[in-house]
Protein backbone atom coordinates (compact mmCIF):
# COMPACT_ATOMS: atom_id res chain seq x y z
CA UNK A 1 0.00 0.00 0.00
CA UNK A 2 1.79 3.13 -1.18
CA UNK A 3 1.20 6.80 -1.78
CA UNK A 4 1.27 8.70 -5.08
CA UNK A 5 4.40 10.90 -5.14
CA UNK A 6 2.69 13.46 -7.36
CA UNK A 7 -0.38 13.95 -5.19
CA UNK A 8 -0.83 17.20 -3.27
CA UNK A 9 -4.48 16.80 -2.23
CA UNK A 10 -7.79 15.42 -3.48
CA UNK A 11 -8.70 18.57 -5.37
CA UNK A 12 -11.32 19.52 -2.80
CA UNK A 13 -11.87 23.23 -2.29
CA UNK A 14 -9.97 25.27 0.31
CA UNK A 15 -9.47 26.05 3.11
CA UNK A 16 -6.75 23.52 3.75
CA UNK A 17 -6.32 22.36 7.30
CA UNK A 18 -2.52 22.11 7.41
CA UNK A 19 -1.64 25.76 6.83
CA UNK A 20 -0.78 26.25 10.49
CA UNK A 21 2.50 24.37 9.94
CA UNK A 22 3.93 27.52 8.38
CA UNK A 23 3.54 29.21 11.78
CA UNK A 24 5.14 26.44 13.83
CA UNK A 25 8.44 27.41 15.51
CA UNK A 26 10.40 24.78 13.59
CA UNK A 27 12.97 24.78 10.83
CA UNK A 28 11.26 22.11 8.73
CA UNK A 29 7.94 20.30 9.06
CA UNK A 30 5.69 18.11 6.99
CA UNK A 31 2.19 16.77 7.64
CA UNK A 32 -0.54 14.86 5.88
CA UNK A 33 -4.07 13.55 6.23
CA UNK A 34 -5.52 10.25 5.01
CA UNK A 35 -9.16 9.18 5.20
CA UNK A 36 -11.52 6.39 4.27
CA UNK A 37 -13.56 6.59 1.08
CA UNK A 38 -17.16 5.37 0.67
CA UNK A 39 -15.89 2.44 -1.38
CA UNK A 40 -13.70 1.19 1.46
CA UNK A 41 -10.44 2.56 0.17
CA UNK A 42 -8.11 5.12 1.68
CA UNK A 43 -6.99 8.36 0.10
CA UNK A 44 -4.67 11.22 0.89
CA UNK A 45 -6.88 14.18 1.71
CA UNK A 46 -3.99 16.65 1.72
CA UNK A 47 -0.37 17.12 2.67
CA UNK A 48 2.12 19.90 3.08
CA UNK A 49 5.89 19.82 3.09
CA UNK A 50 8.27 17.24 1.65
CA UNK A 51 6.72 13.75 1.52
CA UNK A 52 10.10 12.09 1.04
CA UNK A 53 12.46 13.85 3.47
CA UNK A 54 13.51 11.47 6.25
CA UNK A 55 12.98 12.48 9.87
CA UNK A 56 13.54 10.77 13.20
CA UNK A 57 10.36 9.10 14.44
CA UNK A 58 11.46 8.70 18.06
CA UNK A 59 8.73 6.88 20.03
CA UNK A 60 6.44 6.60 17.01
CA UNK A 61 8.83 3.70 16.35
CA UNK A 62 6.82 1.79 18.96
CA UNK A 63 3.93 1.56 16.50
CA UNK A 64 6.21 -0.32 14.10
CA UNK A 65 7.25 -2.68 16.90
CA UNK A 66 3.61 -3.23 17.84
CA UNK A 67 2.71 -4.04 14.24
CA UNK A 68 5.62 -6.48 14.01
CA UNK A 69 4.44 -8.22 17.18
CA UNK A 70 0.87 -8.44 15.86
CA UNK A 71 2.17 -9.98 12.63
CA UNK A 72 4.18 -12.48 14.68
CA UNK A 73 1.09 -13.33 16.73
CA UNK A 74 -0.99 -13.97 13.63
CA UNK A 75 1.80 -16.11 12.17
CA UNK A 76 1.93 -18.16 15.35
CA UNK A 77 5.51 -17.13 16.05
CA UNK A 78 4.56 -15.96 19.54
CA UNK A 79 1.47 -15.30 21.66
CA UNK A 80 0.29 -12.26 23.58
CA UNK A 81 0.15 -14.40 26.73
CA UNK A 82 3.66 -15.79 26.31
CA UNK A 83 5.99 -14.94 29.21
CA UNK A 84 8.22 -11.96 28.45
CA UNK A 85 10.02 -9.46 30.64
CA UNK A 86 10.05 -9.70 34.44
CA UNK A 87 8.43 -12.62 36.29
CA UNK A 88 4.68 -12.73 35.70
CA UNK A 89 4.84 -10.42 32.69
CA UNK A 90 3.73 -11.34 29.18
CA UNK A 91 4.13 -10.02 25.66
CA UNK A 92 0.83 -8.21 26.15
CA UNK A 93 2.08 -6.55 29.34
CA UNK A 94 5.16 -5.25 27.55
CA UNK A 95 3.13 -3.88 24.65
CA UNK A 96 0.75 -2.09 27.02
CA UNK A 97 3.39 -0.64 29.37
CA UNK A 98 1.97 -2.79 32.15
CA UNK A 99 4.91 -5.11 32.85
CA UNK A 100 6.09 -3.21 35.93
CA UNK A 101 9.37 -2.23 34.26
CA UNK A 102 10.59 1.33 34.61
CA UNK A 103 11.30 3.65 31.68
CA UNK A 104 14.86 2.58 30.91
CA UNK A 105 16.09 0.17 33.58
CA UNK A 106 15.64 -3.59 33.82
CA UNK A 107 14.65 -4.08 37.49
CA UNK A 108 10.84 -3.88 37.74
CA UNK A 109 9.34 -1.11 39.83
CA UNK A 110 6.16 -3.03 40.59
CA UNK A 111 4.43 -6.29 39.74
CA UNK A 112 2.89 -6.73 36.28
CA UNK A 113 -0.61 -5.40 35.77
CA UNK A 114 -0.57 -2.92 38.65
CA UNK A 115 0.42 0.36 37.03
CA UNK A 116 0.95 1.88 33.59
CA UNK A 117 4.66 2.76 33.50
CA UNK A 118 5.85 3.99 30.12
CA UNK A 119 8.79 1.73 29.35
CA UNK A 120 11.34 1.99 26.56
CA UNK A 121 13.21 -1.05 27.80
CA UNK A 122 9.98 -3.01 27.53
CA UNK A 123 10.00 -2.45 23.77
CA UNK A 124 13.63 -3.40 23.52
CA UNK A 125 12.74 -6.68 25.25
CA UNK A 126 9.84 -7.17 22.82
CA UNK A 127 12.25 -6.86 19.92
CA UNK A 128 14.48 -9.48 21.57
CA UNK A 129 11.50 -11.82 21.97
CA UNK A 130 10.51 -11.46 18.31
CA UNK A 131 14.10 -12.06 17.26
CA UNK A 132 14.42 -15.15 19.44
CA UNK A 133 11.14 -16.74 18.40
CA UNK A 134 11.46 -15.93 14.70
CA UNK A 135 15.14 -16.77 14.38
CA UNK A 136 15.77 -13.41 12.65
CA UNK A 137 17.36 -10.17 13.76
CA UNK A 138 14.51 -7.88 14.76
CA UNK A 139 15.36 -5.26 12.15
CA UNK A 140 15.11 -7.94 9.45
CA UNK A 141 11.79 -9.20 10.79
CA UNK A 142 10.43 -5.66 10.95
CA UNK A 143 11.54 -5.00 7.39
CA UNK A 144 10.09 -8.23 5.99
CA UNK A 145 6.93 -8.29 8.09
CA UNK A 146 5.90 -4.63 8.16
CA UNK A 147 8.01 -2.24 6.09
CA UNK A 148 7.98 -4.20 2.81
CA UNK A 149 4.29 -5.20 2.74
CA UNK A 150 3.19 -1.67 3.63
CA UNK A 151 5.51 -0.25 0.95
CA UNK A 152 7.53 1.97 3.27
CA UNK A 153 10.91 1.88 1.47
CA UNK A 154 12.26 5.01 3.12
CA UNK A 155 11.83 3.71 6.66
CA UNK A 156 14.57 1.93 8.57
CA UNK A 157 15.64 0.94 12.03
CA UNK A 158 19.38 1.57 11.69
CA UNK A 159 21.81 -0.95 13.16
CA UNK A 160 22.38 -0.34 16.83
CA UNK A 161 19.35 1.93 17.25
CA UNK A 162 16.70 1.27 19.88
CA UNK A 163 13.49 -0.50 18.81
CA UNK A 164 11.76 1.84 21.23
CA UNK A 165 12.76 5.04 19.46
CA UNK A 166 15.26 4.58 16.65
CA UNK A 167 13.29 4.50 13.38
CA UNK A 168 13.75 7.08 10.65
CA UNK A 169 11.59 7.64 7.61
CA UNK A 170 9.58 10.08 5.51
CA UNK A 171 6.03 11.30 5.86
CA UNK A 172 5.01 9.21 2.85
CA UNK A 173 5.78 6.06 4.83
CA UNK A 174 4.14 7.27 8.02
CA UNK A 175 0.97 8.01 6.04
CA UNK A 176 1.15 4.48 4.62
CA UNK A 177 1.16 3.20 8.19
CA UNK A 178 -1.80 5.46 8.96
CA UNK A 179 -3.64 4.05 5.95
CA UNK A 180 -3.06 0.52 7.23
CA UNK A 181 -4.46 1.48 10.61
CA UNK A 182 -7.57 2.94 8.97
CA UNK A 183 -8.16 -0.04 6.67
CA UNK A 184 -6.02 -2.97 7.84
CA UNK A 185 -4.66 -5.46 5.33
CA UNK A 186 -1.43 -6.55 6.97
CA UNK A 187 -3.25 -7.84 10.04
CA UNK A 188 -6.87 -8.88 10.43
CA UNK A 189 -9.31 -6.09 11.38
CA UNK A 190 -10.19 -8.07 14.49
CA UNK A 191 -6.51 -8.18 15.50
CA UNK A 192 -6.18 -4.42 15.14
CA UNK A 193 -9.46 -3.85 16.99
CA UNK A 194 -8.14 -5.88 19.89
CA UNK A 195 -4.85 -3.99 19.88
CA UNK A 196 -6.60 -0.61 19.96
CA UNK A 197 -8.93 -1.52 22.83
CA UNK A 198 -7.90 -0.87 26.42
CA UNK A 199 -5.39 -3.44 27.61
CA UNK A 200 -5.37 -4.13 31.34
CA UNK A 201 -8.13 -1.62 32.16
CA UNK A 202 -8.09 0.61 35.19
CA UNK A 203 -4.35 1.17 35.49
CA UNK A 204 -3.17 4.60 36.60
CA UNK A 205 -0.04 6.03 35.04
CA UNK A 206 1.67 8.98 33.41
CA UNK A 207 1.38 10.05 29.79
CA UNK A 208 4.85 11.50 29.08
CA UNK A 209 4.71 15.24 28.61
CA UNK A 210 1.13 15.50 29.87
CA UNK A 211 1.16 14.15 33.41
CA UNK A 212 -0.70 11.55 35.47
CA UNK A 213 -4.03 10.01 34.53
CA UNK A 214 -6.24 7.55 36.37
CA UNK A 215 -6.92 5.53 34.36
CA UNK A 216 -4.11 5.97 31.86
CA UNK A 217 -5.54 3.81 29.08
CA UNK A 218 -3.32 2.13 26.53
CA UNK A 219 -3.78 -0.56 23.94
CA UNK A 220 -1.24 -3.07 22.69
CA UNK A 221 1.30 -0.50 21.56
CA UNK A 222 -1.22 2.24 20.81
CA UNK A 223 -1.83 5.14 23.17
CA UNK A 224 -5.57 5.71 23.53
CA UNK A 225 -7.09 9.13 23.86
CA UNK A 226 -10.21 8.02 25.75
CA UNK A 227 -11.05 10.78 28.24
CA UNK A 228 -7.52 12.11 28.71
CA UNK A 229 -7.26 15.90 28.94
CA UNK A 230 -5.01 17.65 28.23
CA UNK A 231 -3.88 15.54 25.31
CA UNK A 232 -1.73 15.85 22.21
CA UNK A 233 -4.74 15.26 19.92
CA UNK A 234 -7.60 17.74 19.56
CA UNK A 235 -10.83 18.45 21.38
CA UNK A 236 -12.68 17.20 18.29
CA UNK A 237 -10.93 13.82 18.32
CA UNK A 238 -13.20 11.02 19.46
CA UNK A 239 -12.33 8.96 22.56
CA UNK A 240 -11.60 6.08 20.16
CA UNK A 241 -8.59 7.94 18.73
CA UNK A 242 -5.31 6.04 18.99
CA UNK A 243 -1.71 6.53 17.95
CA UNK A 244 1.59 7.77 19.34
CA UNK A 245 3.84 10.80 19.44
CA UNK A 246 7.61 11.06 19.71
CA UNK A 247 10.14 13.30 21.38
CA UNK A 248 11.54 14.22 17.97
CA UNK A 249 8.38 16.20 17.16
CA UNK A 250 6.62 13.32 15.40
CA UNK A 251 3.09 11.99 15.68
CA UNK A 252 0.50 9.75 14.07
CA UNK A 253 -3.10 9.64 15.24
CA UNK A 254 -6.01 7.65 13.85
CA UNK A 255 -9.63 8.52 14.63
CA UNK A 256 -11.67 5.47 13.56
CA UNK A 257 -14.97 7.22 14.29
CA UNK A 258 -14.06 10.10 11.98
CA UNK A 259 -12.30 7.70 9.55
CA UNK A 260 -9.38 10.13 9.38
CA UNK A 261 -5.69 9.84 10.26
CA UNK A 262 -3.09 12.59 10.53
CA UNK A 263 0.69 12.43 10.75
CA UNK A 264 3.46 14.98 11.10
CA UNK A 265 7.25 15.01 11.27
CA UNK A 266 9.53 17.93 12.02
CA UNK A 267 13.02 18.94 13.10
CA UNK A 268 12.20 20.31 16.56
CA UNK A 269 11.77 18.22 19.68
CA UNK A 270 8.43 17.94 21.42
CA UNK A 271 7.88 20.71 23.96
CA UNK A 272 5.38 23.34 25.08
CA UNK A 273 5.01 24.54 21.49
CA UNK A 274 3.69 21.13 20.42
CA UNK A 275 1.24 20.87 23.31
CA UNK A 276 -0.71 23.76 21.82
CA UNK A 277 0.11 23.38 18.11
CA UNK A 278 -0.75 19.71 17.70
CA UNK A 279 -4.26 19.80 19.23
CA UNK A 280 -5.08 22.92 17.20
CA UNK A 281 -3.95 21.15 14.03
CA UNK A 282 -6.02 18.08 14.87
CA UNK A 283 -9.13 20.20 15.37
CA UNK A 284 -8.52 21.96 12.05
CA UNK A 285 -8.10 18.62 10.26
CA UNK A 286 -11.29 17.18 11.69
CA UNK A 287 -13.25 20.37 11.04
CA UNK A 288 -12.09 20.32 7.43
CA UNK A 289 -12.42 16.67 6.53
CA UNK A 290 -15.01 14.87 8.64
CA UNK A 291 -17.97 16.44 6.87
CA UNK A 292 -16.30 16.78 3.47
CA UNK A 293 -17.40 14.35 0.73
CA UNK A 294 -14.68 11.90 -0.23
CA UNK A 295 -13.66 11.96 -3.86
CA UNK A 296 -14.82 8.98 -5.89
CA UNK A 297 -11.82 9.08 -8.22
CA UNK A 298 -8.49 10.55 -7.26
CA UNK A 299 -4.85 9.78 -8.14
CA UNK A 300 -4.10 9.62 -4.44
CA UNK A 301 -6.51 6.85 -3.59
CA UNK A 302 -5.16 3.92 -1.60
CA UNK A 303 -7.24 0.87 -2.38
CA UNK A 304 -7.04 -1.84 0.31
CA UNK A 305 -7.90 -4.36 -2.37
CA UNK A 306 -5.19 -3.28 -4.77
CA UNK A 307 -1.73 -4.77 -4.96
CA UNK A 308 -0.12 -2.18 -7.23
CA UNK A 309 2.77 -0.04 -6.07
CA UNK A 310 1.55 3.56 -5.86
CA UNK A 311 4.96 4.97 -5.02
Residue 12 has pLDDT above 90, yes or no: no
What pLDDT shows up at residue 39?
86
Is domain 19-302 in CATH 1.20.5.510, yes or no? no
Residue 276 has pLDDT above 60, yes or no: yes
**pTM reported for the whole predicted model:** 0.90
Residue 7 has pLDDT above 80, yes or no: no
Give the tens place of pLDDT for each residue, 185-221. 999 999 999 999 999 999 999 999 999 999 999 999 9
CA–CA distance, 262 with 234 (Å, rounded to integer): 11
Q: To the nearest whole number, what is the mean pLDDT of the chain?
A: 90
Domain boundaries, the chain: 19-302
Residue 63 has pLDDT above 90, yes or no: yes
Which is more confident, 10 or 237? 237
Which is more confident, 293 or 109? 109
Contact criterion met (CB below 8 Å) for 80 and 93: no
Q: Give the burial string for 56-89 (b: 16+ CB within 10 Å, else e).
A: bbbbbbbbbbbbbbbbbbeeebbebeeebbbeeb
What pLDDT shows up at residue 202?
97
Which is more confident, 224 or 4? 224
Band of pLDDT at residue 91, cut at 50, 70 and 90: very high
Residue 309 has pLDDT above 50, yes or no: no
Please state the rounded mean pLDDT for residues 133-152: 97
Band of pLDDT at residue 15, cut at 50, 70 and 90: low
Please state the rounded mean pLDDT for residues 115-144: 98
What pLDDT shows up at residue 270?
98
Residue 222 has pLDDT above 50, yes or no: yes
What pLDDT shows up at residue 40?
84
Please state the rounded mean pLDDT for residues 49-67: 98
**3-class SS string, the chain:** CCCCCCCCECCCCCCCCCHHHHHCCCCCEEEEEEEECCCCCEEEEEEECCCCCCEECHHHHHHHHHHHHHHHHHHCCCCCCCECCCCCCEHHHHHCCCCCECCCCCCECCCCCCCECCCHHHHHHHHHHHHHHHCCCHHHHHHHHHHCCCCCCCCECCCCCCCCCCCEECHHHHHHHHHHHHCCCCCCHHHHHHHCCCCCCCCCEEECCCEEECCCCECCCCEECCCCCCCCCCCCCCCCCEEEEECCCEEEEEECCCCEEEEEEECCCCCHHHHHHHHHHHHHHHHHHCCCCCCCCCCCEECCCCCCCCC
Residue 269 has pLDDT above 90, yes or no: yes
What pLDDT shows up at residue 185?
95
Residue 5 has pLDDT above 80, yes or no: no
Amino acid sequence: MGLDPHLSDTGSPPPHSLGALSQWPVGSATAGVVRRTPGGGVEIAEHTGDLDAPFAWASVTKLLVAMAVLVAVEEGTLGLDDPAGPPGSTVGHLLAHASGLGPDAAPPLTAPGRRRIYSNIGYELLADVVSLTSGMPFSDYLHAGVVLPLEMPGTELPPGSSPASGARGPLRDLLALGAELLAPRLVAPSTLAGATAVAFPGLAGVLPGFGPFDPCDWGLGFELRDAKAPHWTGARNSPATFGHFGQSGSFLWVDPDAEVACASLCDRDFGPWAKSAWPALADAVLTRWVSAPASSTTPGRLDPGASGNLH
